[in-house]
Amino acid sequence: MALTSILHRLADERRSDLSRGEIAPRTLSAPTVEDSPSLRRELEKLRQQVLKEQNHLTSILGTWSEFLTSTGDNTDVLRSTAELALQLEQVRDAALEAERHLGAAASTDQVRAALADLSSQISSCNHRHAQVIDALQTRLAAHSVHHAYR
């Protein structure tokens, strides 16, 4: 039950259908605008979303970390969650770097390079979130099989 609760809290509420067991990971979106004022707003919005995701992940771990460390082999779940937390920081740092380039009268190529790095970091973050979901689903499946043969 605890693993299911963690899985449901990590799921994207809009894209998942929890009652059918369809779990979609939460995702971040890369900025899509090109003009500086709109791009600055999107970068700020992205950083706020990253902070929200970090707080959400911290809340989940605060509730369930003792369970995860004391029951069964949850190494994959814990490792993938830690990797997600680190990747969220990488996204935040890349967004700050892109903002710095926008504010420093950097060349268009420097801004594009910073945005490309940000996009790459976001893609990695979304992949890490999917890995956490996969690790939880794998652990749930193993747990179900174990209990079925008792």
Q: Give domain status of residue 123, yes or no.
A: yes
Range of the domain at 107: 2-14+36-148
Q: Give domain status of residue 24, yes or no.
A: no
> What digits encode the pLDDT tens for the residues 46-87?
999 999 999 999 999 999 888 888 887 888 899 999 999 999
Q: Give domain status of residue 51, yes or no.
A: yes
Q: Is the dihedral of CA 35, 37, 38, 43 positive or negative?
A: positive
- Cβ(124)–Cβ(90) under 8 Å? yes
Would you give the DSSP letter of residue 35?
A: S
Q: Give domain status of residue 68, yes or no.
A: yes
Tell me the CATH number at 144: 1.20.120
Q: What is the pTM of this model?
A: 0.90
Q: Give domain status of residue 22, yes or no.
A: no
Q: Give domain status of residue 20, yes or no.
A: no
Q: Give domain status of residue 91, yes or no.
A: yes
DSSP code per residue over 58-107: HHHHHHHHHHHHHSS--HHHHHHHHHHHHHHHHHHHHHHHHHHHHHTT--
> What digits encode the pLDDT tens for the residues 103-118?
876 688 888 999 999 9
Q: Give domain status of residue 31, yes or no.
A: no
